[in-house]
Structure 1
Amino acid sequence: MPNGPRPEDALDCLRAELVAGPSTTVVRTTRGAWLAFMRFGRRRFDTASASDSDGLLFQYGTYAFSGRPMFTVGLTRQFEVNNDDGEHDHYVQVHCELRYEPEPDLDALGSFDSWFFHGADADLDGWFAVMEERLVPLLDRRPAEIDLYEEPV
């Protein structure tokens, strides 16, 4: 979508959403981070017109990415990066990871992932509603860690 923010500014946009809630205590819960991610996910960026050039990924599971097992909710935005000829070069992902101490009820959730692409003419609000249902057991919890980062993939 032309005239939106550039994908290079996406991490700063996500950070701004995380502090834009009604109070500083809101962002400290899963619900606060989820509301920030929904605001961020609704914002359109200046991306190529391909149907997979701007995507949202919701995923969770128990992983040991940081060295010890943690239940992790991954809220990710992925942008296609094209070369000077307009051809696909790579993707850049902006991540908000919420990590929780392992507990049997969280481990029982298993793992899950789902993509949404802005260019696919799908219902964003419907996708958000389905993903939020998956978050119900976590909405009022405080993550032990929140990590924001960007990486090429």
Structure 2
Amino acid sequence: MLFLGLLLAALAGAVIATVLTVRGFRAMFRKSERSGRLRAAALLVGAVAVALYAWGLLNVGYAVMRAEDGGTGSAPVGPCREAGPQVASLVIDYDVSFLPLRFECRLSGGGAYVTSSVPGYVTPGTVGLGLVAATCGVLASTTARRVRPPVA
């Protein structure tokens, strides 16, 4: 069930990124003033941030799918085998974290370790691009308020 939820969330992220991209290009070509360019930048950078997070969700979803795959060779959990056979034999469960986005393997001794299922650039890239998009959005909003002509 978790895999299906992650897959649907990744697909929703792809749709949202597409909508933001279209709106960003429309804003870029509609207005030539500074607030229009900042709004377009906010939408386009936000689209990249959402797409990057959706990519990370797909990677976590694939790791969950491998972890929930039963049958011959299903123990230890597939994504947790990268730590080596001695550590992997101690794995009792797995956990998914959404912020930061990662797949963790729980050990019988009470510890846990993070696998390389999600590329290392996903969380910092998403946070950085999200901050840039938010900054551009705030600047576009304040610039638009200052530039508006007085209503007669």
Tell me which interval the TM-score lies in, with the shorter structure as reference length.
under 0.3
Q: TM-score, normalised by structure 2?
A: 0.27
Q: TM-score, normalised by structure 1?
A: 0.27
Structure with more helix by fraction: 2
Larger Rg: 2
